[in-house]
Amino acid sequence: MSFEQIIVSGNAEQLEESELSLLETLDHVLNSGLVIAGEITISVADIDLVFLGLNVLLSSVEAAQEVLQRRVTDAK
Amino acid sequence: MSLYLYCLLDDDFIVENVIFSGPREGISGSLVTLFIPEDFALLVSDFAGTSVPVTRENVLLHAAVVNAVLPETTPLPFRFGTLTTKAALDSFLAARSQALRAKFELVRGCVEMNVKIIWNREWIEEKSAVEMKPGTAFLTEKRRQIFGSEARVTEATKIAAWLEERLSNSIRETRVNTNTTDKLLVTAAHLVERGSIDEYRSRLKNAQLERPELHFLASGPWPPYSFANIDLEFKTQFGVS
């Protein structure tokens, strides 16, 4: 089994190394995981590509659709 | 000096003496080391400061360190930005040993797979047959703003149940959220045994074919981020529950 994290969109097309993969990673690492204290202090002063919360999810979808659309256009 | 925590590992990892092959440099350039207090092992690095900047580099480093052990064992990943001291960590592990053991039992041999279901459609509320008083109308609208359209919530619940039914034979545990947004109806995290990933993907593909009006976004395998926390114990500890 490959442990490469694969993102599959609605039509089963695989989007490797896309923005989508990054956004999915952000979603996991920032929104879930074991917490050892009552709260975690993180600084967003140097934020460069993070959309916290649900915006990540919707951005993921939009990014997926854009990438798919580009691929369809390029293929023509 | 604080300890930055990437993930917790159980005895299997120590017994098998697996050499960590992930990034040697972690957050802020400190060396990633295997720290082994009694009964558990952790991947940690030193960190000078009180908070961890959220940057693309830092987030990806955290993910890369945790991902590096996934082919060998199933870790309990810490959330990004977890800083502690050695004393606090020892105290946490001693106090929560049983709960952490239970978590390892749950996730052992598994990975996390994720599905997000999107439906681009308008959610039109049926008008109430009864004329609402201004106060009731106000509260109803507030409720809609907070919880979303009732029609959407109902549909999301149905879709979540349908998905669960289609995949249930391939998953050990599920975390589902249907209280999302107008477009994003369902987010589901599935704990899947490593040997069942192909079966899971096949079932998911069949489910997709069954509901062409829905857009699926599937990803994985991931470390079990959605199954790692021990919420109840924390709530009890801080007197919230």
- Note the pLDDT tens digit of each residue in A6-59: 655 554 344 444 566 777 888 888 888 898 865 555 555 444 333 343 344 444
Residue A53's pLDDT is what? 38
pLDDT of residue B77: 96
* Cβ-Cβ contacts under 8 Å, B42 against chain A: none
Q: How far is A1 from chain B (nearest CA, A)?
A: 8
B67 touches chain A (CB under 8 A): yes
Max intra-chain CA distance, chain A = 53
* Number of alpha carbons in the 13 Å side-chain half-sphere of residue B133: 2
Does residue A34 sit in helix, strand or coil?
strand
Measured distance CA(B19)–CA(B73) in Å, rounded: 12
In angstroms, the CA B218 to CA B197 distance is: 12
Residue B174 CA to residue B29 CA, distance in Å, equals 36
* B45 Cβ contact list (under 8 Å, min separation 6): B3, B4, B6, B26, B27, B28, B30, B31, B32, B33
Most confident of A9-13, A57-61, B108-112, B122-126: B108-112
Residue B112: predicted pLDDT? 96
| Whether B54 and A57 lie within 8 Å, measured CB to CB | no
Confidence of residue B216 (pLDDT cuts 50, 70, 90): confident
Tokens in use for A23? 């956004």
Residues of B in contact with A28 (CB under 8 A): 63, 114, 222-223, 225-226
Per 3-state DSSP, what percentage of chain A is helix, strand, and coil (rounded to 5)?
45, 10, 45
More confident residue, B24 or A17: B24
Strands B52-53 vs A42-43: parallel, antiparallel or unpaired: parallel
Q: Chain B residue closest to A55 (CA)?
A: B181
pLDDT in tens, B39-60: 888 999 999 988 888 887 888 8
The per-residue pLDDT for range B167-203, each reduced to its tens digit, is: 998 999 999 988 667 777 899 999 999 999 999 999 9
Question: Considering the entire predicted model, what is its pTM?
Answer: 0.77
Shortest distance, CA A47 to any CA of chain B (angstroms): 5
State residue B57's pLDDT score.
85
Which ranges of chain B would DSSP assign to H, the alpha helix? 11-15, 56-69, 86-95, 97-107, 134-147, 150-167, 197-210, 231-237
Distance CA B191, CA B171 (A): 6
For residue B221, whether the previous peptide bond is cis, meaning omega lies within 30 degrees of 0, is yes
Q: Which of A30, A32, A52, A68 to mutate to test the interface with B (most CBs of B within 10 A)?
A: A32
Residue B63: pLDDT band by 50, 70, 90 thresholds?
A: very high
- pLDDT at residue B16 greater than cutoff 70: no
Dist CA A17 CA A19 (whole Å): 7
Question: Considering CB atoms only, which of B70, B116, B225 is closest to A33?
Answer: B225
Residue A52 pLDDT: 41
B111/B191 Cα distance (integer angstroms) = 6
User: Among residues of chain B, what percentage have pLDDT more than 70?
Assistant: 83
End-to-end CA distance of chain A: 34
Report the sign of the C-alpha dihedral through residues A73, A23, B7, B167, in that order: negative
Residue A62: burial class (beta carbons within 10 Å; 0-12, 13-18, 19+): middle
pLDDT score of B44: 93
Q: Across the interface, do A35 and B215 touch by the CB < 8 Å criterion?
A: no
- The answer for B 202-241 residues in CB contact with A (under 8 A) is 205, 208, 214-223, 225-226, 228-230, 234, 238
Q: In this model, does residue A68 exceed pLDDT 70?
A: no
- Greater confidence, A5 or B143? B143
Summary mean pLDDT of chain B: 84
Question: How close, in Å, is residue B82 to chain A by CA atoms?
Answer: 6
